[in-house]
Every structure is written in structure tokens, then in C-alpha cells.
Amino acid sequence: MKALLELYQQAVQKMHCYFIPILLLFTRFWVASVFFKSGYLKITTWDSTLYLFEEEYQVPFLPWEMAAYLGTAAELIIPIFLLFGLLTRPMAAVLFVFNIMAVISYPVLWDGGFYDHKLWGLMILINVVWGAGLISLDQLLKKRFLIK
């Protein structure tokens, strides 16, 4: 029985070696895709974006025009860092706060889109806690500059 449990534990550890990097890559790509598409839509329909930030969104602490520029920039820039797995933890942390602000700023989301934002928030937190994983520029840079 002990040998069977040890064999099982070894199998689980091997699966972790393959599964966790793929999970981290998947969550990075999924979240980056969602937020980049949103930023792309904002920039390609800029007049509508400005209208929404002025009339619909209720971004606290920022003037609506600044919020429009910063929000669009964040949705276009941060996903690129996540895709490549570069500075993943700080970028994911910023995106997590951004996600919370999106929910707070647009109460209409609370009925229909809140589930999506919770899912994205969880995916983002996975990368805040675990980093980008083995399939990332973070890992390549770590190997190149930290490990001799």
C-alpha cells in the first residue's frame, strides 16, 4: 500500500511539472486577450469611448477624460506584458486593481457581467501569486541573469 501511495505521489508531482506552466500560460493568454480586445475596441471607437467615460462610467478619483486615456492605455499595454510573461506579478497586480475599478465604475456590470470580472480577477490573482511560470520571459531572464 505504501509503495502504491508513493507511486501515486510521484505521478501527481510529474503532472504538476507539466500542468502548472500550461495553466499559468492559459490564464495569462485568456486575460490578456479579453483586456486587449476591450482596449482595441475603445481606441477604434474613440468618440464612443469618450462619451461612455463622460456619461456612463463613474470612475472615482479621476476626471473622466484622464480615466478614458489611462484606462485605454492600460488595456492595450498591460496585456502585452502578460502575453510575454514579462514583469508578470506587478503587471497582473495592476490589472487586478484595474479590473476592480472597472466593476466599481460601471454599476450596469453588476447584474450581467460581474461573473466574468470575478473569473478574470481569479485568473489574474493566479499570476500574481504564482508568477508567469516556466513558459515566460520572466523565466528566461531569471535563468540568464540570476542563475550562474
Task: Report pLDDT digits (tens) over 114-137.
Answer: 888 999 999 999 999 999 999 999
Statement: residue 36 has pLDDT above 60: yes
pLDDT band at 38 (very low <50, low <70, confident <90, very high): very high
Residue with cell 489611462: 70
pTM greater than 0.85? yes
CA-based nearest residue to 84, from 138, 16, 13? 138
* Amino acid 147: pLDDT: 65
Q: What is the mean pLDDT of residues 77-90?
A: 97
